[in-house]
A and B are shown apart, each in its own frame.
Chain A
Amino acid sequence: MNYIIAMLLITLGFYCLLIKRNLIKLIIGLSVMTDGIHLFLISMGYREGGIAPIAFGEWLKPPGFAARAVDPIPQALVLTSIVINICILALALSLTIFAYRHYGTTNLSKLKRLKE
């Protein structure tokens, strides 16, 4: 079920990036698409009835920590990726502010002065 929602988010992000014409909507579409990828990554490490991967006293008893824990590696990957996407979001929004000052609009079809 998680995988279907993740693929839906990625497809919606794709659609938004290709069709919409406002810069702010493009940035929101990029953010939605990367959120879909993060959801896909986390749900790949999920185990039914698993416990959080923190090695605490009573959870080290049999049947063993490694047999019951949810996979911690995708969680680390997603944390790193969320931080990278915050940097991209901040830089994109500040460039949009500058573009609004120069061009007076955030419509993509007006941003065509550099062509060929």
Chain B
Amino acid sequence: MTHAPILAIVLMVFGAFLTPVVGISARKLGLKRAREYFVIALMLAELALVLSMFKQVWGGQVLTYKLGGWQPPWGIALAVDGLNMFVAMVVAGMGLLVAVYSYVYMERDTGLDQFYTLFFLTMGGMMGVTLTGDIFNLYVFFEIMCISSYALVAFRRKWDSIEAGLKYMIVSSFGTSFILLGIAFLYGQAGSLNIADLIQKLEGISSSNLIVPLSLFVAGFGIKIAMVPLHMWMPDAYQAAPSAMAALFSGATATVGIYAMIRVVYILFGAFAIGITFATLGLVTMVLGALMALAQRDLKRLLAYSGISQIGYILLGIGLGTVLGVQGGLFHLFNNAIYKTMLFMIAGAIVYRVGTSDMDQLGGLWKNMPVTGTLFAVGALAISGVPPFNGFASKWTIYVAGIEAGRPVFTIIALITSALTLAYFLKALNSIFLGQRPKHLSDVKETPLPMMFPIMLLAVLCVVFGVLPQLGIDLVRPAQEAVMNSSGYISAVLGGA
């Protein structure tokens, strides 16, 4: 339908406003879990809306929607091409799975009306960043997403949540003010705010004027995706957030951050020459994440450093700039969303049943939670790039891209980091599931079934995309063509009726 882009954003924001009303009336009428069913129903409708745009965009057409009927560049336009569609599908899918997961996980907390309101606002912000075609609109929705996530990190008001939320907030606000300063410089140079219009206007400006805005944008978005050395807030924030929200942030928010970086740097500025910066910083990120993860004692902190390491792989793939490199980077982005969300959900299941995530106090849980242990092993093998899971397919593409681009050093360091990844995941698997079981853990029960369902679905996706990697490359190919070649995007947004 022609109104699908704007409905996808508006549905989430209206859901945020309606959730307290549904919550209060559910308590008055005595219906126990009406609010959670409402949330899951809205997320299903959202996924259906996003998938309805799939057929048209797949054939290479760019869907545009002009807000209020105003013609761009005077009005705001939403534009959906291959790259947008790919990221929107990932975000909507992960949002639905986290909503199903938090049906059981958050039932012991109070104040759930506010939790689901903030959840919808975060989803609305993410959909807005993904689907928009105007750079200030991107900044506003980016801020909506960030502010809701500050409040979600500090949701349980214990000492570690407050400390982590405060650090995350100050570092991330610093970053978004860089983005605002970059938009100010860009507006002064070019005089327009629409992305398609800016692509045309920036071709006439010499590149030495564009160094400062470009580096401010890279630094601002780099704080959000945890590029080294801008990554230091991430382990604290992921350790202290409720595990359902840590799953959403690592799966969907990092994806949206990388999408914004690609859209601004590669499509808007057309600066493929700085790919070497991305590749080098990606290498440093990869190695630093793996080394710090090897020395951790807490499961969620180890998973956060592991997430930083995987973002390094994605930056390496995208920074290489060739067709195979960008395909590998985007495919790894998709796989990262799948297995990172799954691993954080498993960590949340352990915290829900045992009460702690400190690996020194756990041990021998395979006898109590055999299915959870098997799924953790599947996730650990997938993330280390072991065949026949999906991590192998995307990492192999990045390795081959590194050699074909003439830089075998990158491939060698990436291979060593894969081995280190397997090392720290084996350490986590051994400390939690194998070994001797302490006495106080002898009556831990298996994970409840509504929490197990999203984890099993994601594990099945891991295996499917590993056995049929051609499916993943076909999924990513329209996105990669949209990155390399933006003339279709410009003519669709500016020239369309």
Does A4 have its Cβ within 8 Å of any Cβ on chain B?
Answer: no
Q: Which residues of B contact A113 (CB under 8 A)?
A: 159-160, 163
Cα separation A98 to B236 with both chains bound (whole Å): 17
In the complex, the chain B residue whose C-beta lies closest to that of A81 is B180
**Cross-chain contact of B166 among A30, A80, A99 (Cβ < 8 A):** A99
A92 touches B169 (CB 8 A): yes
Verify if B78 is at the interface (C-beta below 8 Å from A): no
Chain A residues with a Cβ closer than 8 Å to the other chain, count: 31
Contact with B along A4-38 (1 / 0, CB 8 A): 00000010000001000001001000100110010
Are the CB atoms of B173 and A80 closer together than 8 Å? no
Instruction: Select one of A40, A44, A114, A116 contacting B163, CB under 8 A.
Output: A114
Given contacts A30-B173, A84-B140, A95-B169, contact A74 B187 (CB under 8 A): yes
B159 touches A41 (CB 8 A): no
**B58: min CB distance to chain A, Å:** 35
Main secondary structure of the interface of A (DSSP, over half): helix
Is A73 interfacial (CB 8 A cutoff)? yes
Tell me if A54 is interfacial: C-beta within 8 Å of chain B.
no
Contact B143 A84 (CB under 8 A): yes
Taking CB atoms and an 8 Å cut-off, the chain B residues in 197-248 that contact chain A are 236, 239-240
CB of A26 within 8 A of CB of B170, answer: yes
In the assembled complex, which residues on chain A have CB atoms less than 8 Å from the CB atom of B181?
10, 37, 40
Answer yes or no: A111 CB below 8 A from chain B CBs.
Answer: yes
Q: Tell me whether A114 and B240 are in contact in the complex, defined as CB-CB below 8 angstroms, given that A73-B187, A88-B147 are known contacts.
A: yes
Residues of chain B within 8 A (CB-CB) of A95 are 150, 154, 162, 165-166, 169
CB-nearest residue of chain A to B169: A92
Q: Counting chain A CB atoms within 10 Å of each CB, which of B164, B170, B187, B295 scores highest?
A: B170
CB-CB under 8 A from A99, the residues of chain B are 162-163, 166
* Most chain A CB neighbours (cut-off 10 Å) among B154, B240, B296: B154
What 0/1 pattern do residues 162 to 179 of B give for CB contact below 8 A with A? Answer: 111111011001100100
Chain B positions near chain A (C-beta within 8 angstroms): 136, 140, 143, 147, 150-151, 154, 157-160, 162-167, 169-170, 173-174, 177, 180-181, 183-184, 187-188, 193, 236, 239-240, 292, 295-296
